[in-house]
Amino acid sequence: MITPIEWLGTRVRFLDQTKLPLEVSTIDTDDYHVVAEAIRSLKLRGAPLIGVAAAYGVALAAVTSPTSTISEYKKGLFSVIDYFAETRPTAVNLFWSLNRLKSIVQSSSSVEKIRTAVVAEAIAIHREDAEMCEKIGKHGATLIPQSATILTHCNAGALATGGRGTAVGVITTAHEMGKKIHVFVDETRPLLQGARLTTWELQQAGIKHTLITDNTAAFLFQQHKIDLVIVGADRIAANGDAANKIGTYNLAVLAHYHNTPLYIAAPSSTIDPTIPSGSGIPIEERHAKEVTEGFGVRTAPAGIKVYSPAFDITPAILISGIITEKGIHRFPYNFQTTA
């Protein structure tokens, strides 16, 4: 299985996803700043993986920070936790993970206890995400017919999580069950996570797939070539509204018009019961250069204005089901407590 990040005792090793699929390159570091920068620059990306990576970043700080008074040590770790909280605003898994570590730091009574407990908790967060992915895959696979053509957007596979993935994890699980699957993969502009990452994962898994431009999806629906859509999510509100990679809402509208089910696959750590609806989800905006100079090649005139939200909101009414490790939830959704 693909391993996008691993704990090496006093160091972290992670895949630089910006270099895929042309190069499989890993980075080893004992510096939490390097991990935070990797999250910001999308070397590490995907909501569940961001949570895991931030936990390991805090663990690095806990291990490498010089011994001092307990109050100064705690103050330093709280500062690191705040530092990671500012990396990316939309993925709630980040804050779910950091809050767990913050609680440990607050309640521990010695420097050594904090070090041991923070590292153990970070490893547990990673392990739990892998276990949730396995369960999501098994629940979601029941929704896939014996023969199916699936459309997916962005990357919600092993590269985005601590395990086999969410949306892609459902697909790989169904494939392992012997179901005949073909996947249409949106390239996912402007950073091409579908083209660069999802196709790479599906290729390694031996699953038949076809890459399409984002604008091709509507024509495939019109030709009745899509049986179902499965995507991930970065934050799900209490009412089931879901934030996912920009372009997901387009697919939800298309699927609804063409009477095709669209499913969200995500761990319960992606559900934010404190936000009543999608209108309260903060949407990250990315740098204009990702649109005008993607991958170092200018494709638009210099100085033009760009609007580049990283995510959009799919209303709950357009979601046929939300697949978590606890089962398949149906509209109307009511995640008052994490489901």
Longest Cα–Cα distance in the chain: 67
**Whether the Cβ atoms of residue 197 and residue 180 lie closer than 8 Å to each other:** no
Q: How far apart are CA 231 and CA 314, in angstroms?
A: 11
> What are the φ/ψ torsions at residue 190 (nearest 5 degrees)?
-90, -10
Q: What are phi and psi of 39, to 5 degrees?
A: -65, -45
* Nearest partner of 313 among 213, 258, 257, 231, judged by Cα: 231
Is residue 321 packed enough to be buried (19+ CB in 10 Å), middle (13-18) or exposed (0-12)?
buried
The residue among 200, 207, 289, 276 whose CA lies nearest residue 237 is 276
Residues identified as active-site: 234
In this structure, the number of other CB atoms found within 10 A of the CB of residue 105 comes to 21
Task: Copy the structure tokens of residue 259.
Answer: 């009477």
* One-letter amino acid of 62: A
Would you say 244 and 314 are in contact if contact means Cβ atoms under 8 Å apart? yes
